[in-house]
């Protein structure tokens, strides 16, 4: 069952189409990973889905109803974790949650209970009376998430929730995302960290230049674009004859020499792994051989021609 649908969405800024006939479905209970290079339109899509901006044309449906700007009941079922941290640094952590909980209609005993439960969930219960101006970046990110889930949203939209934080805080956030899904929350998750999508997402959507260019499970995406495989071979004695024999195999595209290691790029499903192993044994013996499966990063690079994030951010 779909908890949200976007059909034929167009959004322009001046004359540029930032979203160009976008179709997207978010299924109840899943973590949907949204990937795209800088400028692909991810944040615009998120803002359109959450009702922060108007679209030029198309149709958005949330919880089985058309999205309308005045539907407060619908908006109260959504949580948005913004890329920029949106908390009040002159209020304590508890006061921040009280403010955002009040916006979502919580009050009285229910609000107090939700504040305590949420602080415990994000690991900030012992920081309840501190102002976040003195928090680490990771603690601010966790409080930012807390403010978005205090009302227990059915749909949680997370825009780059782990940018610029330490590994411990990142791991805490990722485990929190998994637990939210276990509790029944549907999550749209966008990030520049490919490994996060690989470990979290039930399905993946790749957006580029305002278009959805691919979507499916990780296995489906890899299968659909898998044109080649990488084989790494270390042998007892590396000879020019062995290299030439491997290069001559049908489907072998490239043989790269890295010290005593051969890296062989071969057409996918060519059956060359067994042939290469046989040639290496005849040439004197094999120390190790490994066939690498394509990764989500390979899929992304093949489809967009771009890295997901700059190397210096890796």
Express each pLDDT in 99-155 by its tens digit.
Answer: 999 999 999 999 999 999 999 999 999 999 999 988 999 999 999 999 999 999 999
pTM of the model: 0.82
The pLDDT score that the predictor gives to residue 314 is 35
Q: For residue 288, is pLDDT > 50?
A: yes
Average pLDDT over residues 258-276: 83
The string of DSSP codes covering 56-122 is SEEEEEETTEE--TT-HHHHTTEEEE-SS----TTS-HHHHHHHHHHHTT--HHHHHHHHHHHHHHT
What are 156's two structure tokens? Answer: 């949680």
The whole-angstrom separation of Cα 59 and Cα 8 is: 7
Question: Tokens 């700007």 belong to which residue?
Answer: 69
Q: For residue 33, is pLDDT > 50?
A: yes
Q: For residue 312, is pLDDT > 60?
A: no
| pLDDT one-digit tens code per residue, 39-97 | 899 999 999 999 889 999 999 999 998 887 667 788 889 999 998 999 999 999 999 99
The pLDDT score that the predictor gives to residue 156 is 97
């Amino acid at each position: 069952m779909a908890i949200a649908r976007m059909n034929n969405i167009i959004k322009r800024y001046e004359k540029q189409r930032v979203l160009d006939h976008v179709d997207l479905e978010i299924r109840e209970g899943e973590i949907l990973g949204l990937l795209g290079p800088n400028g692909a339109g991810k944040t615009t899509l998120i803002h359109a889905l959450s009702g922060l901006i108007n679209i030029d044309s198309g149709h958005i449906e949330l919880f089985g109803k058309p999205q309308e700007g005045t539907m407060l009941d619908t908006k109260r079922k959504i949580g948005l974790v913004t890329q920029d941290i949106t908390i009040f640094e002159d209020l304590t952590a508890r006061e921040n949650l009280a403010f955002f909980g009040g916006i979502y209609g919580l009050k009285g005993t229910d609000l107090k209970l939700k504040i305590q439960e949420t602080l415990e969930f994000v690991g900030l219960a012992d920081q309840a009376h501190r102002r976040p101006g003195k928090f680490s970046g990771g603690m601010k990110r966790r409080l930012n998430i807390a403010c978005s889930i205090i009302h227990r949203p059915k749909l949680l939209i997370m825009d780059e929730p782990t940018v610029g934080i330490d590994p411990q805080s990142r791991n805490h956030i990722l485990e929190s995302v998994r637990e939210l899904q276990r509790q029944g929350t549907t999550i749209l998750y966008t990030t520049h960290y490919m490994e996060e999508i690989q470990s979290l997402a039930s399905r993946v959507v790749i957006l580029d230049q305002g278009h959805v260019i691919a979507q499916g499970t990780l296995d489906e995406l890899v299968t659909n674009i898998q044109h080649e495989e990488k084989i790494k071979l270390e042998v007892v004695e590396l000879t020019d004859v062995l290299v030439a024999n491997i290069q001559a195999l049908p489907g072998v595209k490239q043989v790269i020499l890295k010290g005593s290691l051969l890296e062989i790029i071969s057409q996918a499903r060519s059956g060359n792994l067994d042939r290469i192993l046989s040639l290496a044994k005849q040439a004197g013996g094999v120390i190790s051989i490994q066939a690498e499966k394509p990764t989500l990063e390979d899929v992304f690079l093949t489809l967009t021609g771009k890295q997901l994030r700059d190397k210096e951010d890796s």
